[in-house]
Amino acid sequence: MKYWILFAIGSCLLASCSSKKENAAAALSSGNKLYGVIIVAPRATVIYSNFPATIQGQQNVEIRPQIDGYVKGIYVDEGSVVKKGQLLFRISAPLYEQGVRTAEANIKIAQADLNAAQMEVNKVRPLVEKNIVSGYELQSAEYTLQSKQAALAQANAALINAQTNLSYATIYSPADGVIGIIPFKIGSLVSSATVQPLTTVSNIQNIYAYFSINEKQQLDFLTNTKGKTLEEKLASLPPVTLLLSNGIPYDQKGRIETIGGLVNAATGSVAFRATFSNPTGLIRSGSSAMVRIPQTVDDALLVPQSATYQIQGKLFAYVTARDSTIHSTAIQVNSNTPGHSYVVTQGLKQGDRIVVEGIGNLQEGLHIIPKLVNADSTYKSL
């Protein structure tokens, strides 16, 4: 019996020793490796919000015919740069040319009638003064003269109207800009009722980027912007960036100049307009882009994206306890976080220590040897 008891005690001692050796081996395999950690602290950072935008030129002038006729001449090509007053089109308008000639002939007739009426007045007046004829004759002649004067004025007005109509046959550019599509060719019949314009002249020295944000964003946007009036708030806004359709930032900064006065009842959004200089004409009217608006956060809690991992759509980070054990903590981040870092909104607090190196080898409750690293070296900006 004593031998059996001694055997049992020996077995327990061996098992205990074996367990301690395994724990020591586990501690040796993970505990001897240093894991970089940083202390979460508030810091100033800039976050960005991107909004889809449509681009329009400073002026988009549709060139439409104002008379009926055939396209006689096209003096520009699609995509060419034109100056204000430059000749664009000529329309064959024989009816309006004939109208001018007719109006000029009517003026000559009216002028001759006026001269005859004036001669009649000049003839009758001395006769009335000598009581040879009654004053009625002079009054009648003067009325006839007034009628002929009105007829001449009417003929002159008709000539001006005919000349105006004929001037519409020659079309000049109303502004500096770039020619759009020219759907009509020489010989095409056009009229003032034609739905499609002859072309469009787009002034793109400055371009407007139109974008919309939701009502809540608009309220937050204006509430957190300095200034008492809307004009002061707009003036205090920082410059914005235009991301072109290829993802490259445009080299000219822009400014938000207008905010729509109405909330779209269907979409719950508010329209904004940012203006950018376009000296080289790189951006064309009708383009698509993204407007990037910066916002400075004075006390953001930043976490490197490489220090986080996802499980079922949720984001986690490893927080180191006082005894150097790690615990997985769910965090929430700002959707507009900059570059390779997250701005944490929930889950972490100032002073927390998070693991930023080798998190793929970690698991809940593991004891590590933390190595404090410089937080600045772990953050990467845009």
Q: What pLDDT does 251 receive?
A: 92
Q: Which CATH number covers residue 348?
A: 2.40.420.20
Is residue 220, in this structure, part of any structural domain at all? yes
Q: How far apart are CA 76 and CA 86, in angstroms?
A: 9
Return the CATH number at 279: 2.40.30.170
For 230-282, the pLDDT digits (tens) are 888 888 888 999 999 998 999 999 999 998 888 888 888 899 999 999 988 88
Please check whether residues 134 and 148 belong to one and the same domain. Answer: yes
Q: Among the three residues 251, 281, 297, which one is the final residue of a domain in this structure?
A: 297
Chosen domain end from 297, 330, 355:
297
Q: Judge whether 17 lies within some domain.
A: no
Structure tokens at 314: 């949720």
Domain contains 281: yes
Task: Give the span between the Cα atoms of 37 and 325, in whole angstroms.
Answer: 12
| 202-223 residue pLDDT tens | 888 899 999 998 888 888 777 8
Q: Do 212 and 310 share a domain, yes or no?
A: no
The pLDDT value recorded for residue 292 is 92
Give me the pLDDT at residue 158, please: 93
| Shared-domain flag, residues 85 and 161 | no
Domain region containing 307: 30-45+299-378
Q: Is residue 329 part of a domain?
A: yes
Q: Show the CA angle centred on residue 182, arms to residues 181 and 184, nearest 5°.
A: 145
Q: Are residues 313 and 335 in the same domain?
A: yes
Structural domain includes residue 237: yes
Kindly state whether residue 351 falls inside one of the protein's structural domains. Answer: yes
Instruction: Identify whether residues 224 and 126 lie together within a single domain.
Output: no
Residues 239 and 346 in one domain: no
Residue 103 counted as domain residue: yes
Same domain, 80 and 177: yes
Residue 17 sits at the vertex; the CA angle it makes with 16 and 21, to the nearest 5 degrees, is: 120
Same domain, 190 and 87: yes
Q: What is the dihedral of CA 334, 336, 337, 339, to 10 degrees?
A: 160
Please give the pLDDT value at position 123. 86
- Same structural domain, 255 and 325: no
Look up the CATH number of the domain holding residue 85.
2.40.50.100
pTM value is 0.64
- Rounded to whole angstroms, the Cα distance separating 319 from 35 reads 12
Q: Do 224 and 279 lie in a common domain?
A: yes
Cα–Cα nearest to 286, from 55, 53, 52, 80: 55
Nearest to residue 76, comparing CAs of 64, 90, 62?
Answer: 90
Percent of the chain past pLDDT 70, that is, above it, reads: 89
pLDDT along the chain (382 residues), means of 10: 43 44 42 80 86 91 92 93 94 90 93 91 83 81 89 93 91 91 93 91 92 86 81 88 92 91 85 92 89 86 88 91 91 76 89 89 88 74 38
One domain for residues 53 and 40: no
Q: What is the pLDDT of residue 338?
A: 60
Q: Decide if 81 is inside a domain.
A: yes
**Residue 146, domain CATH:** 1.10.287.470
> Could you give the CA distance from residue 294 to residue 50 in angstroms, rounded to a whole number?
9
Residues 176 and 87 reside in one and the same domain = yes
Q: What is the domain count for the chain?
A: 4
DSSP state of 367: B
Tell which of 268, 297, 326 closes a domain.
297
